[in-house]
Chain A
């Protein structure tokens, strides 16, 4: 399901002294099955942007088109759009409310009017994706779980709606490395099912590792868009707008200035390991790739 933003503009508090433009003519299109990372400093408009994509916020100018449905058109059924787009907010664990984990995950599918068997199937499938044992935790209260587990339950609730497009707003904020990897892993699994992913992140390493394409927001405008290679090769520009590049990219730049002839576009640990192995003596580290993916 393609997503398209056309001149998307959002001005808060129009015609008041507090008027501020959070989105300024943002246009992009995202193809089916793409994994798109959205980066930008705090207040750059990322969260405002994603809240437009499923019609939670109404643009003050321009429009969003999801799978051919124009969100600004009167006849568009907004509910239908929300069914297709799953939105995982920041700190989604604060939105858990049901008595049991099972009921919490089942809440969305139930509202879709699905029958009991289908609901059960979806809850179990979602549990499996987020690596929770449904039989073990299904009857527990979500509030008995650890922070990382709560977040996975909340995400499972969105996955159980089986949205074609999954949008996540900083899904790993505040998690330890293990919790972070398990969230990123489930996002990757969901993507492998051919779903479209939009992920807002402050971690350049995560975006470099996972995204096919990156949108860079700055002061409400779409400052850059391109593949990780295109984006992270512009270190100075990224720094000037409060962002960063992965540490290995900085290292690659330094080394090349000193005459190491490393190939361009090194953004992940695996890239760097391979590049150095050949620069330092041609001992290839090809065998490591699999292990590296597992780590990711």
Chain B
């Protein structure tokens, strides 16, 4: 069942020069419930604009976006849309508003007018889901970047959205913070069935999802399972994107004349493939 549908969506800025952002030019896509969709593309490809269209921060100039059947142009129901689509941004410091972690997680619920008696259990559950329970009463500025980002995720989870829309959530984190956040997202997706839409520059992160869309000049130019998309190494490089390191290595070895079979994308798969090759010699 689909939760988000974008049909031939167009968005143009009145003066694109001033914003530096590219328009979205006729994108159609659908996000299924429980799916993890990653969107990649270089800066200016229109990804961030697309994200803003998916939760109704922008409304399309042409075409339409519906979230759980609600058109984002329907001003009366825009708050429902925003509640269904929770957003996580790049900078954890810009998303934390309270001085204590649990208050920060409760912030959205208070704004929604949730009964006080229900707030506490929902906050606790959200903190458990991101494994931050023991920091409930800590001041957010004492946390690491990865921990802050997990608090931001808890704040969104507490509002029980249908979709988590993440715009480069790990861009400002160190390697352990990145791993922490991605492991959390993966667990929420696998165990709780959370629908995830992830914008990222890190191809290894996109590998973890179910489907990848590549944006270029405001259009969706490639789409498919990570394995299908990332094996098109030349095409991705032509539009200025990376491929995951193991895919790159496989591509290079093949160019050197080694018959790498299948499409190894992780270290584990590469180890298996290389062992097979070595035994064949």
Contact = CB atoms under 8 A, between A and B. Distances in A.
B203 to A, nearest CB: 9
Contact of B176 (A243, A281, A283): A243
B253 A273 contact: yes
When A and B form their complex, which 3 residue pairs have the shortest distance between CB atoms, in order from nearest? A242-B176, A178-B240, A176-B42
A272 B172 contact: no
A147 B43 contact: yes
B241 A177 contact: yes
Contacts of A14: none
Given A43-B144, A204-B175, A243-B174, A269 B252 contact: yes
Given A276-B253, A283-B258, A202 B201 contact: no
B136 interface: no
Interface of A: 40-43, 143-148, 150, 173-179, 202, 204-205, 242-244, 246-248, 250-251, 254-255, 258, 260, 269, 272-273, 276-277, 279-281, 283, 285, 288
Interface of B: 17-18, 20, 41-44, 90, 144-146, 168, 171-179, 201, 204, 240-242, 245-246, 248-249, 252-253, 255-258, 267-268, 270-271, 274-275, 277-278, 281
B175 A244 contact: yes
Contacts of B42: 176-179
A255 B271 contact: yes
Nearest to A241: B176
Contacts of A174: 90, 168, 171-172, 201
Contacts of B242: 177
A260 B43 contact: no
Contacts of B201: 174-177
Given A175-B201, A280-B281, 6 more contacts: A178-B42, A205-B245, A255-B271, A258-B275, A276-B274, A288-B256
Main secondary structure of the interface of B (DSSP, over half): helix
A294 B201 CA distance: 21
22 contacts: A42-B144, A42-B146, A144-B20, A174-B90, A176-B201, A177-B201, A177-B240, A178-B43, A202-B174, A204-B175, A243-B176, A247-B204, A247-B267, A251-B270, A254-B271, A258-B271, A269-B248, A276-B258, A280-B253, A280-B274, A280-B278, A283-B258
Contacts of A243: 174-176
A266 to B, nearest CB: 11
Given A43-B144, A277-B256, A283-B257, A144 B177 contact: no
A74 to B, nearest CB: 35
Contacts of B41: 176
A112 to B, nearest CB: 30
A148 B43 contact: yes
Contacts of A244: 175-176, 179
A89 to B, nearest CB: 13
